Every structure is written in C-alpha cells, then in structure tokens.
Amino acid sequence: MSYRADIAIIGAGVIGLAIASHVTRAGREVYVLEKNKTFGQEQSSRNSEIIHAGIYYEKDSLKAKTCLEGNSLLYQLCERNGIAYKKCGKIIVATSDIEAEELEKLFDRGKDNGVPLKMLSRGEMNRLEPNMKGLAAFFSPTTGIVDSYSLMRYFLGKAKENGTQVVFKTEVTGIEKVSGGYEVSVDDPSGGFSFMTRVLVNCAGLYSDKVAEMAGINIDEAKHNLHWCKGEYYSVSGGKNRLINRLIYPVPMTISVGVHVCFDVNWRLRLGPLFYYVDEISYKVDDSRKEAFLESSIVKALPLIEPSDLDPESAGIMAMLQGEGEGFRDFVIKHEYDRGLPGFINLVGIDTPGLTSSPAIARYVSHLVNEILESEK
Ligand SMILES: Cc1cc2nc3c(=O)[nH]c(=O)nc-3n(C[C@H](O)[C@H](O)[C@H](O)COP(=O)(O)OP(=O)(O)OC[C@H]3O[C@@H](n4cnc5c(N)ncnc54)[C@H](O)[C@@H]3O)c2cc1C
C-alpha cells in the first residue's frame, strides 16, 4: 500500500467530476478512479441533456432541492465558462382529458416546489407552437439544454487545474475499512495495486450499489439495489426541427417523464427516451419498439412528425432505485458513519435530474467532505 490519498472518488461521470472540481484544493491529495478509458462514457453522455426546472419531484426531496439549485448554478457556470447551452424553455402539453387533469396536478406540484410556470391559453399555445396540438398546456421558462460533454470537460479541467489526479482504465475491485480510512484495491493495465484514502466517495453510477456492497453495506437491507432502465431515442429528419421552437413534453403518466422532444445545442431533433427495464447493458436500439413510440402522447401532440421521419438513434441506461411499478425514490447522498463507515460518502440512484443537479450535488458532498476532514484535525 504505497499511496495515501485524502479523498478518492470512484467514477468519472458528471457527478464524480463535479465533486472533484469542488473538493480539490491546495494541500489535499485527490484521486478520481475511472474503469473506462475516458470520462463520461455511461449515463452522463447518454441522456437528454435537459437542464430540468424541478417540476416533477416530491417537495423537499433531494431531487427537488438539488435540481432547483443546480438549474440556476448550471446557467451561471455555462455563461461564465463558455459551456454551450440554450435556455429555450419547455411546454408540457395534455392530449386527453385524463392528461389535462394530471397536467393541473403537475402544475401545482411545480409551483409548490418554487418553479416559475405559466398556464397557457389556447391562443398562446398556437402562437408559441403553431404545429402543436393539445387540450391544455403550461410553459416552463427555466428549462433548457446543456452540452453535457463540454460541462464534463469543464469540471475535469477545473479538478486537474487544482491538482486532482484522474486515472482511467482503473477499476475499483475491493474496499476495506482500516484505521483512519479505507484501503482501496484496483485493477489497472499494470495488473493492479491498492492504496489508502481518508475519504472515499462512491459515484459509480450504474454500479454504485455494487460499490456500496464492497464497502460493507447490506444493500438489500439498505434498499440500495439498483434497477437498470433503458431509454431509447429516435432521430427526426425531414427538417421538422425548424417547425418546433422549444422543448415539448407530454404529461408523465408513469414513473418516467415520457417520450419528449429533445434538442441538442445545435438544434438537432430527437424524440425519446422510451424507457423499459433491462438486465444487461446493451446500447442497441430495439427497433421493434417503434410502434410503442408512435403511440406515445408526444407524437399525438405533434402530428407533423410522421413515422417515416423517425430512425433509431441511440440509447442510454439509467441507474434507478425504483423498480418497475414502484413509486418515487429520492437520490441517496449520505455520509455512512451510522453504518459504521465514517469517511464513506455514498451516492446511489443518481438518475434524472442528476445532470442538472450535478453542481448542487458537488456543493453538498463538498460540505460533507469538509466536515469529515475538519473533524479529524
Ligand atoms: C436516457 C437518460 C436520460 C437522461 N436525461 C437527463 C436529462 O435530460 N437531464 C438530467 O438532468 N439528467 C438526465 N439523466 C440522468 C443523468 O444522465 C444522470 O443522473 C447522471 O449522468 C449520473 O451521473 P453519474 O456520474 O452518477 O453516473 P455515470 O455517468 O454513469 O458515471 C459513473 C462512472 O462510474 C464508473 N464506475 C462504475 N463502477 C466503477 C468502478 N468499480 N471503478 C471505477 N469506475 C467505476 C463508470 O465507468 C462511470 O464512468 C438521464 C439519464 C439517462 C440514462
């Protein structure tokens, strides 16, 4: 055991990188360990890139709080550091009476969470989106889009500038609690090694339940088992991107926010994600689900999109605490001292809106890290 770190972060997705950019400072040895050959190859580069406003989540949950805070921090970060973004706003539209009832509940929930929202009249709906059909809709002005790759590059650059070592092709395979911290074993191209760290932060995304288990947490008892949920996207051709002016979402009738209009910062148009639970990691789009896509509410709301405009494009897989048919589960972001693991900070189930929440989660975790390191002085 030759190295001794102050802080080791497992995972170089947007969450691990955001945290690294925040906790690194003079006099601290900080490492980020990533099993892939570069950063952000999993959830953080396979998502809708939406800066969420905070509408959907239970009041006072970590999701609601970090999303609202992250939303405003993210716009500031993008503006100050040349990260591409668009504060284009979004419309949530109901296409049936049942959806219209749910739309009102969603509007109230968003308002209650402190999100600025505006109910639209028929005239306003037509003026804002002449090609959209719907019975009722509201507008969220603080929803936007961010270039997730540039955001991660920014966090990585800031972390490195402040002295963090980011090591790729390095997979954490074992964690042992020892006096004064943790002994972490890794596999790397040289065959592997182990080192000691005072603080260990689990940001392992799809595998964060396995990492929690490695640290000694009984994940069944803690209810930290993850479910993998695959979301598929279809590209939309035929110049239809010029006929839609902002993000358009359906009323969520299941656990997911529903197949929606996704634009990237270059105004490339996609529809998705259509979510379903999976047991293995494969990013191939299952084209047999195109029928389900065509039946989604968003296609009803946008009759200008024809079946021939849609082509399978990409997929992402999300690490979710809620299994099929289960209700809302919040992010787990916790210093696990009460499980006998002082210095182990555990992040499990950082599903959507994790990209939006990343700067706020980084602040929160940085506060936990400072408490731990200060208490040892
Ligand atoms: C389809 C989809 C759509 C989404 N849309 C949005 C959206 O529009 N807006 C939004 O805010 N959020 C969205 N999200 C959620 C967002 O993408 C995630 O919350 C966020 O990317 C999570 O980041 P992460 O760093 O925790 O995980 P990841 O990006 O998965 O990173 C975890 C990293 O840990 C590494 N790792 C795992 N195990 C080990 C190990 N043992 N040793 C070393 N490294 C390890 C992995 O290789 C990986 O690089 C979406 C997610 C998906 C899948």
pLDDT in tens, 181-207: 999 999 999 999 999 999 999 999 999
Residue 255 has pLDDT above 70, yes or no: no
| Ramachandran angles phi, psi of 33, nearest 5° | -110, 125
Kindly report the protein residue whose alpha carbon is nearest to atom 33 of ligand 1. Answer: 11
Question: DSSP strand E in 285-377: where?
Answer: 310-320, 332-335, 344-348
Residue 317 has pLDDT above 60, yes or no: yes
pLDDT in tens, 139-175: 999 999 999 999 999 999 999 999 999 999 999 999 9
Give pLDDT, residue 257: 84
What ligand 1 atom has the least distance to the C-alpha of 211?
A: 41
Question: Is the model more confident about 126 or about 26?
Answer: 126
Q: How confident is the model at residue 1 (pLDDT cuts 50, 70, 90)?
A: very low
Residue 139, token pair as written in the block: 């507008």
Q: How confident is the model at residue 2 (pLDDT cuts 50, 70, 90)?
A: low
Give pLDDT, residue 298: 92
Pocket test for ligand 1, best of 32, 352, 356, 361 (most atoms within 8 A of CB): 352
Residue 256, token pair as written in the block: 């997911």
Residues with CB under 6 A from ligand 1: 10-16, 33-36, 40-44, 46-50, 52, 171-172, 203-207, 211, 231, 273, 316-318, 350-356
pLDDT in tens, 213-250: 999 999 999 999 999 999 999 999 989 999 999 999 99
203 CA to centre of ligand 1 in angstroms: 9
**Alpha-carbon distance 63 to 155, whole Å?**
21
pLDDT in tens, 319-372: 999 999 899 999 999 999 999 999 999 999 999 999 999 999 999 999 999 999
What ligand 1 atom has the least distance to the C-alpha of 48?
A: 8
Q: In angstroms, how far is CA 151 from the centroid of its own chain?
A: 13
Distances (CA, A) of 336 to 197, 199, 212, 215, 348: 15, 11, 10, 10, 12
Residue whose C-alpha is closest to residue 63's, from 124, 7, 115: 115
354 CA to centre of ligand 1 in angstroms: 8
